[in-house]
Structure formats: C-alpha cells, structure tokens
Chain A
Amino acid sequence: AQSVSQHNHHVILSEAASLELGCNYSYGGTVNLFWYVQYPGQHLQLLLKYFSGDPLVKGIKGFEAEFIKSKFSFNLRKPSVQWSDTAEYFCAVKEGGGSYIPTFGRGTSLIVHP
C-alpha cells in the first residue's frame, strides 16, 4: 500500500527565513503529487500539484515544490516565509492511472514568528 512520509512534524521559523518541508512516498509507478495547506480554522486547500512535465512546480503564495523521481520526493519550499504562512501543510500522493484516492502524509505544523 502507498505511504507518504512527512518527516518534519513541527517547524518554527522567524519571518523571512527560508522553508523546506520534506515529503517522501513509497509507490514506484506513476504518481500525481499534491501539497495542501490548512490555515487555522479553515478547510484544506490546494497549494500546488504535479502531474507531469517540469518537475519544479510553482504554486500560490510563492510556494514551489520539486519532484525528484529517483528520491521518491516532493519537497515544498518557500524562500522567505511570512507570519501568514502559519498553517498545517499536507503532502498527498495519488497513484496514476487508476486510483482516485489520494494518500495523505501526517502533516507538518508550521509556526512563523513575526
């Protein structure tokens, strides 16, 4: 069965610091990859996604993620975080070709201090 690992469970940064959140998955075939964000008190919403093509994906609010197939990774990055980035971040993976059910990682709680 597919599994998704997010190794950083809690991250605390100061504003303007750079961010990288790790995401690794176990499936060896074609995958669709997602990062979702959940701001305090709100529903999950999509930050960015990768289906095919350029492995460096740009999302909303200055976030980007890089798909490295050889490492089974899809790490999320932002060069300079803001206080408003405080949220829970979830990586999700869907097996390509037939599964329509994404598997989520456990999430990373990010706190950004002003």
Chain B
Amino acid sequence: NAGVMQNPRHLVRRRGQEARLRCSPMKGHSHVYWYRQLPEEGLKFMVYLQKENIIDESGMPKERFSAEFPKEGPSILRIQQVVRGDSAAYFCASSPGRTNEKLFFGSGTQLSVL
C-alpha cells in the first residue's frame, strides 16, 4: 500500500546541468501537484497536472522549468540549466481527482546545486 513515491531523495547537480525529479502518485490517484520549499519559506505551488494534461502551471517559472504526467509512468519535474537558486526541497502530492479533500504528500527531493 505504497504512498506517494518521490525519487531521488537527494539530487546534486552542478550549475548548467539538468535535474529530473520523479513522482509516482498513490495507486488510484490521477492528479499530481508539485510544490517547492525554499529555506525560510513555505511551500510554494508550482504546477497541477492530471494524466497527460497540465491543469494549472501558474506557479512555474517561465523558463527552464517543465512538468509532465504521461499516461504511463511517473510525473516528471524537469529543470534545465540549473542555477544555485534552484536549490530547494521539491514536494509532490497526489489526489484521486479534483477534490477538496486532503493531499497525500511524498517525502520530497532535496536538490542541491553546486
């Protein structure tokens, strides 16, 4: 009865490299949310996806960041040409659908950019 799985737990990249963060939602959940947590800041919404659709990406930086949730496989948050300011904890959450109920969170990926 696995929960939301994120990998890797820790990711180290040098400036200019690409970072790919993966999120497998809970079984039966078709909606995924990505949040970013910067030091001394709260969880900032980035993007909300349904299978094969981006529903809301109002929190995504306009450049270098992209997200997908294909029909098969995990959701991927991709950061191209990383910079030091991208260092943060990235959390994924899932829900069974458009719902007012709680979100189920993964343990997060800590991205460190050297």
Give A contacts to B, CB under 8 Å. Answer: 4, 6, 9, 32, 34, 36, 41-46, 49, 51, 90, 94, 96, 100-107
Contacts and interface: CB of A to CB of B under 8 A. Distances in A.
Contacts of A51: 100
B42 A43 contact: no
A100 B98 contact: yes
Nearest to A96: B100
A51 B100 CA distance: 9
Contacts of B63: none
A105 B95 CA distance: 20
Contacts of B99: 100
A57 B102 CA distance: 15
Given A90-B43, A100-B98, A105-B42, A43 B35 contact: no
A59 to B, nearest CB: 11
A46 B108 contact: no
B61 interface: no
A45 B105 contact: yes
